[in-house]
């Protein structure tokens, strides 16, 4: 369980995170979304105590990270894959981290195998590919067998096999009752991995919702209708709150009315439909729709609108 | 990869958060162990320490060989001013370069590679990392440099003995100078650790350490003599090196007060490093 209360971080005049509040619950993979510079990494750094908040607080399992006596066993974090000395081997890097908390050598071997780095574990990290670096970062996060995982862009640089591996791994870890928070800029990846979403823009909370609901709310519920008799159907659909657009003669894009209703109206009038397809926005579109505001609000008089979004 | 699907917690405990095997805590001793693993698993450690031992022993012996062979052709005045201990231990001047650089790298190397974020995530109280690095590096430098100074001394004085110009460890001030070499270099190493932690940057750290140790005394020479004489005894390296002087040199502090002052400067730097490490975002 990760809880943030009124979390704020300022670097000089720049506010990276502003009055952010959210709860990451165990048992599910929670995605942490936001455009570049939204404050995701800053928030994650505050979770593990690398940066201290200007005001507000964030706790892990009820305590601030630094107050835990055995932090590696409480929280596994991978904030940047390259938080490793390039001159040291992967194995010795993990061994040194493990030693701080008295984690046995056996566990180091286990995580090395778990992330598939056995063959290169004795090689210096400087020669690692981006994907190997990510795997090492994940190994470090898993070292203490923690109940909470915080991972910043873990799929970055992984090949498709690696992406599938991390997706399965994270879902399994969550299924075991762990708290998993991961950030990603790949919305499509979030749709496959996360069940819950925390979306931030310009350091403020935009949404704290399930993936399903996020897509449902963000998509406009349009229906694509194709018919040779589109001209005849179009006036029948008219009504309050209904809009119909058309790019092609035979295709109507309808919003404000369900596909069931459109189908019935067409049937009543004996209009043959070639297509009747509810359009769901992809997570990618939904995300861009929602964060477009956060980007556009970068004007001096943004404060008021900003608050509406945060609310 | 077939191992990929095995995600069961396979550690030394049951499910996290439930009662399991006793959970290890971060202790100063464990952080010290971790730092020991870090120190011995970098090649730069070996090369730098080998370099410093070579400098201390190699130059110490070399200077004694040269002095012994040139002794008969030296002028009476040169012979009068010959200091067998200073000549023998002069390699420390180069050794301190290696020791200072490695000291700076203890922290700056971690900042340069990002390793510091792993280190401070593992030990979020942070100060145990500083104390462990400082204590460990001091112990390693002291042991190696004291041994190297002794070897240099014994071999070097053996060579000088052929001309009957050698001294013995039991002669007044000699043991202090020999063991003082290890102590001086230990404090140089600690100063490097502190400056590396404060500046978090290798180039800046090295420039600062050697600016203070080597350049300040040279700069002070540009001052009027009376000023220089008043200031230079209090400069860190001059104060520290007074421990290695067998015979008192004008305008320097006495051996132990000088060394204590050098230690005080270094402790102040370590205290500054501690405050900044604790306060700054990593």
* CB-CB neighbors (< 8 A) of B5 in chain A: 168, 172
CB-closest option in B24, B117, B125 to A66: B125
Domains and CATH numbers, chain A: 2-216 (3.40.50.300), 220-279 (3.30.70.250)
CB-closest option in B35, B42, B117 to A87: B42
B11 and A103 within 8 Å at the Cβ level: the answer is yes
Q: Locate the chain A residue with the closest alpha carbon to B125.
A: A66
A114 Cβ neighbours under 8 A, 6+ residues apart: A139, A142, B3, B4, B6, B7, B10
The DSSP code sequence of A104-141 is -HHHHHHHHHHTT-GGGTTSBGGG--HHHHHHHHHHHH
A307 Cβ neighbours under 8 A, 6+ residues apart: none
A190 Cβ neighbours under 8 A, 6+ residues apart: A31, A33, A184, A197, A211, A283
Alpha helices in chain A (DSSP H): 40-47, 71-74, 90-100, 105-114, 130-142, 160-175, 187-193, 211-218, 230-237, 259-268, 283-296, 303-310
B37 and A144 within 8 Å at the Cβ level: the answer is no
* pLDDT confidence bin for A190, thresholds 50/70/90: confident
* pLDDT confidence bin for A283, thresholds 50/70/90: low
Q: Is A113 on the interface with B (CB under 8 A)?
A: yes
Alpha helices in chain B (DSSP H): 28-40, 43-70, 76-81, 84-89, 92-113, 115-122, 127-161, 174-199, 202-210, 216-220, 225-231, 236-241, 255-279
Looking at chain A from residue 246 to 275, which residues have their Cβ under 8 Å from any Cβ of chain B? none
Mutation target for B interface from A99, A141, A146: give the one with most B CBs within 10 A. Answer: A99
Distance to chain A for B2, nearest Cα, Å: 8
Q: Select from B172, B137, B155 the least CA-distant residue to B247.
A: B172
What is the C-alpha separation between A226 and A249, in angstroms, rounded? Answer: 9
Mutation target for A interface from B121, B124, B196: give the one with most A CBs within 10 A. Answer: B121
Tokens of B267: 């402790």
What is the C-alpha separation between A227 and A204, in angstroms, rounded? Answer: 45
* CB-CB neighbors (< 8 A) of A51 in chain B: 281-282
Q: Locate the chain B residue with the closest alpha carbon to A82.
A: B114
A93 and B118 within 8 Å at the Cβ level: the answer is yes
What is the C-alpha separation between A91 and A139, in angstroms, rounded? Answer: 10
* Model confidence at B20: pLDDT above 60: no
CB-closest option in A71, A107, A113 to B3: A113
Q: Select from A107, A118, A290, A267 the least CA-distant residue to A197.
A: A290
Predicted confidence at residue A213, as pLDDT, reads 82
* CB-CB neighbors (< 8 A) of A177 in chain B: 15, 17
Give the rounded distance of the alpha carbon of A14 from its chain centre: 24
Distance to chain A for B31, nearest Cα, Å: 5
A176 and B15 within 8 Å at the Cβ level: the answer is yes
C-beta of residue A207 within 8 angstroms of C-beta of residue A57: no
Mean per-residue pLDDT for B118-144?
97
Residue-wise pLDDT for B141-164, tens only, equals 999 999 999 999 999 999 999 899
* pLDDT confidence bin for A82, thresholds 50/70/90: confident
What is the C-alpha separation between A164 and B4, in angstroms, rounded? Answer: 9
B7 and A61 within 8 Å at the Cβ level: the answer is no
* Model confidence at A299: pLDDT above 60: no
Predicted confidence at residue B4, as pLDDT, reads 41
Q: What is the ipTM of this complex?
A: 0.87
Distance to chain A for B273, nearest Cα, Å: 17
Question: Pairing relation of β-strands A179-183 and A148-152?
Answer: parallel
A145 and B33 within 8 Å at the Cβ level: the answer is no
C-beta of residue A291 within 8 angstroms of C-beta of residue A34: yes
The DSSP code sequence of B144-182 is HHHHHHHHHHHHHHHHHHTTT----TTSTTHHHHHHHHH
User: What is the domain partition of chain B in residue ranges?
Assistant: 34-279
Distance to chain B for A221, nearest Cα, Å: 38
What is the C-alpha separation between A4 and A31, in angstroms, rounded? Answer: 15
What is the C-alpha separation between B57 and B148, in angstroms, rounded? Answer: 6
What is the C-alpha separation between B53 and B45, in angstroms, rounded? Answer: 12
* CB-CB neighbors (< 8 A) of B42 in chain A: 85, 87-88
Residue-wise pLDDT for B30-85, tens only, equals 999 999 999 999 999 999 999 999 999 999 999 999 999 999 999 999 999 999 99
C-beta of residue B98 within 8 angstroms of C-beta of residue B49: yes
What is the C-alpha separation between B95 and B67, in angstroms, rounded? Answer: 21
* pLDDT confidence bin for A302, thresholds 50/70/90: very low
Q: Locate the chain B residue with the closest alpha carbon to A135.
A: B4
Predicted confidence at residue B31, as pLDDT, reads 96
* CB-CB neighbors (< 8 A) of A85 in chain B: 38, 42, 109-110, 113, 115
Question: Pairing relation of β-strands A55-60 and A2-11?
Answer: antiparallel
Residue B72, SS3 per DSSP: helix
* Model confidence at B6: pLDDT above 80: no
A2 Cβ neighbours under 8 A, 6+ residues apart: A23, A24, A47, A58, A59, A60, A148, A150, A179, A181
* Model confidence at A305: pLDDT above 50: no
Distance to chain A for B105, nearest Cα, Å: 11
Computed on alpha carbons and rounded to an integer, the radius of gyration of chain A in Å comes to 24
Tokens of A57: 């607080």
Looking at chain A from residue 33 to 62, which residues have their Cβ under 8 Å from any Cβ of chain B? 45, 48-52, 61
Residue-wise pLDDT for B159-184, tens only, equals 999 899 999 999 999 999 999 999 99
CB-closest option in B25, B44, B117 to A79: B117
* Model confidence at A206: pLDDT above 80: yes
- DSSP strand E in A12-84: where? 14-24, 29-33, 55-60, 75-78
pLDDT above 70: percentage of residues in chain B: 92
Predicted confidence at residue A98, as pLDDT, reads 96
A145 and B16 within 8 Å at the Cβ level: the answer is yes
Predicted confidence at residue A239, as pLDDT, reads 83
Residue-wise pLDDT for B202-219, tens only, equals 999 999 999 999 999 999
Predicted confidence at residue A294, as pLDDT, reads 64
* Model confidence at A285: pLDDT above 90: no
Q: Which of A26-30, A37-41, A295-299, B269-273 has the lowest mean pLDDT?
A: A295-299
Predicted confidence at residue B148, as pLDDT, reads 97
Calculate the alpha carbon distances from A53 to A10, A164, B256 in Å. 8, 35, 46
* CB-CB neighbors (< 8 A) of B15 in chain A: 176-177
Q: Locate the chain A residue with the closest alpha carbon to B109.
A: A85
Looking at chain A from residue 52 to 111, which residues have their Cβ under 8 Å from any Cβ of chain B? 52, 61, 65-66, 68-74, 77, 79-80, 82-89, 92-93, 95-97, 99-104, 106-107, 110
Count contacts between A and B (CB, < 8 Å).
Answer: 153
* Model confidence at B22: pLDDT above 60: no
Distance to chain A for B88, nearest Cα, Å: 35
A85 and B109 within 8 Å at the Cβ level: the answer is yes
Mutation target for A interface from B5, B6, B7: give the one with most A CBs within 10 A. Answer: B7
* Model confidence at A259: pLDDT above 90: no
C-beta of residue B110 within 8 angstroms of C-beta of residue B116: yes
Tokens of A262: 């459109």
């Amino acid at each position: 369980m990760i809880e943030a209360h009124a979390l704020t971080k300022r670097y000089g005049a720049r506010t990276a995170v502003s009055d952010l509040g959210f709860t990451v619950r165990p048992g599910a993979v929670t995605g942490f979304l936001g455009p570049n510079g939204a404050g995701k990494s800053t928030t994650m750094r505050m979770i593990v105590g690398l940066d201290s908040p200007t005001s507000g607080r964030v706790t892990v399992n009820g305590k601030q990270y630094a107050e835990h006596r055995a932090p590696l066993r409480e929280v596994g974090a991978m904030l940047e894959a390259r938080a490793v000395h390039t001159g040291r081997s992967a194995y010795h890097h993990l061994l040194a981290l493990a030693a701080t908390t008295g984690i046995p050598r056996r566990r180091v071997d286990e995580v090395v195998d778990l992330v598939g780095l056995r063959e290169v574990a004795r090689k210096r990290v400087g020669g690692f590919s981006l994907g190997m670096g990510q795997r090492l970062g994940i190994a470090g996060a898993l070292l203490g067998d923690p109940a909470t995982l915080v991972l910043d862009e873990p799929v970055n640089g992984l090949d498709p096999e690696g992406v599938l591996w991390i997706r399965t791994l994270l879902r399994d870890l969550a299924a075991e009752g762990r708290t998993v928070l991961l950030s990603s800029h790949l919305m499509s990846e979030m749709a496959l991995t996360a069940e819950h979403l925390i979306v931030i823009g310009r350091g403020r909370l935009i949404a704290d919702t399930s993936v399903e609901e996020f897509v449902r709310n963000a998509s406009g519920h349009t229906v694509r209708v194709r018919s040779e008799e589109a001209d005849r159907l179009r006036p029948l659909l008219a009504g309050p709150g209904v809009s119909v657009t058309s790019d092609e003669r035979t295709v109507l894009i309808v919003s404000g009315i369900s596909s069931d209703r459109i189908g019935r109206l067409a049937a009543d009038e004996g209009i043959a439909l070639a297509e009747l397809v509810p359009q769901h926005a992809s997570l990618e579109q939904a995300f861009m729709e929602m964060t477009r505001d956060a980007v556009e609000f970068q004007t001096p008089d943004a404060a008021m609108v900003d608050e509406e979004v945060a609310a | 990869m077939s191992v990929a699907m095995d995600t069961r917690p396979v550690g030394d405990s049951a499910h996290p958060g439930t009662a399991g095997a006793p959970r290890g805590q971060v202790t100063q001793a464990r952080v010290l162990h971790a730092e020991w693993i870090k120190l011995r698993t970098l090649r730069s450690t070996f090369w730098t320490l080998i370099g410093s031992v070579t400098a201390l022993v190699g130059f110490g012996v070399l200077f004694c060989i040269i002095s012994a062979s040139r002794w008969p052709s030296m002028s009476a005045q040169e012979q009068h001013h010959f200091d067998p201990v200073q000549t023998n231990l002069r390699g420390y001047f180069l050794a301190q370069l290696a020791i200072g650089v490695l000291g700076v790298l203890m922290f700056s190397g971690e900042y340069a590679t990002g390793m510091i974020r792993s280190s401070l995530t593992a030990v979020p109280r942070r100060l145990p990392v500083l104390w462990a690095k400082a204590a460990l590096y001091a112990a390693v430098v002291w042991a190696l440099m004291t041994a190297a100074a002794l070897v240099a001394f014994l071999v070097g004085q053996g060579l000088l003995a052929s001309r009957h110009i050698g001294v013995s460890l039991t002669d007044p001030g000699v043991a202090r100078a020999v063991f003082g070499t290890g102590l001086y270099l230990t404090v140089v190493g600690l100063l490097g650790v502190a400056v590396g932690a404060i500046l978090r940057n290798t180039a800046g750290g090295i420039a600062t350490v050697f600016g203070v140790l080597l350049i300040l005394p040279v700069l002070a020479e540009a001052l009027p003599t009376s000023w220089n004489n008043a200031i230079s005894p209090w400069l860190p390296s001059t104060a520290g090196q007074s421990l290695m002087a067998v015979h008192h040199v004008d305008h320097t502090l006495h051996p132990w007060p000088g060394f204590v002052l050098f230690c005080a400067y270094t402790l102040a730097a370590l205290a500054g490093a501690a405050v900044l490490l604790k306060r700054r975002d990593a």
